[in-house]
Amino acid sequence: MATIADQDILDQFRSGEQATAFRDLVETHGKTVYNIALFTLNDEVLAEDATQDAFIRIYRHLGKFKGEARLSTWIYRIAKNVCYDYLKKRRHTSMDEVEERHLMDGDGFSPEEEVLSEWQHKAVRDAVEQLPVKQRLAITLYYFQDKSYEEVAAIMGQPLNTAKSHLHRAKAALAKSLGAAKGVSYERATV
């Protein structure tokens, strides 16, 4: 199925076809919103809940969308904010209450990454899960959602250089972590 252009979705919504517009919006952006939630929250059940909450918030405010940013950027910022709200709430719960976390079911990986062994997938998932939330989100958006630096910055609501800094720190931490998992020092891995 061809994706509906964001402008067409907005036009539908504004012309009174809210149900059709919302269905098209979910079909077009649902997977990305879910992946942002999954990478940010590291919990499939919470990611599903956060995705639903994000789309409820999007629906309630879609009529107020002014077009100052791309619709997709606006949607992904809402998803990010909902996830951050979930993280704030979750800080007050015991870690024993949080189920085993899974990063992805593999759909967001490039074909080259899909060829990697299950051990390597697990090592990458574990390493990404250990990143601070903002670095984890930056990595998710840039590598797994193919967003540009500018889009990452806009979605995260940060200046471009700050988003680049989060990516740089995340890549360095991942290189160090994955190098240690292979028994290779960080210095040897970068030579």
pLDDT digits (tens, 9 = 90+) for 136-191: 888 888 877 788 899 899 989 999 999 999 999 988 888 887 766 554 333 323 32
pLDDT of residue 120: 54
pLDDT of residue 118: 46
Distances (CA, A) of 168 to 72, 88, 113, 178: 24, 25, 20, 15
pLDDT score of 30 more than 50: yes
Please give the structure tokens belonging to residue 191: 């030579």
d(CA 116, CA 10): 40
pLDDT of residue 69: 85
92-128 per-position pLDDT tens digit: 543 333 333 333 333 444 344 443 344 455 667 778 8
pLDDT of residue 82: 93
Q: What is the CATH number of domain 109-191?
A: 1.10.10.10
pLDDT of residue 121: 57
pLDDT of residue 181: 52
Q: Is there a shared CATH topology between the 1-102 domain and the 109-191 domain?
A: no
51-95 per-position pLDDT tens digit: 999 999 999 898 888 888 889 999 999 999 999 888 888 765 433
Beta-carbon contacts of 46 under 8 Å, excluding residues fewer than 6 positions away, are 37, 86, 90
pLDDT of residue 164: 92
Topology adopted by domain 1-102: Rna Polymerase Sigma Factor; Chain: A (1.10.1740)
pLDDT score of 1 more than 50: no
d(CA 186, CA 123): 15
Show me where the domains of the chain are located. 1-102, 109-191
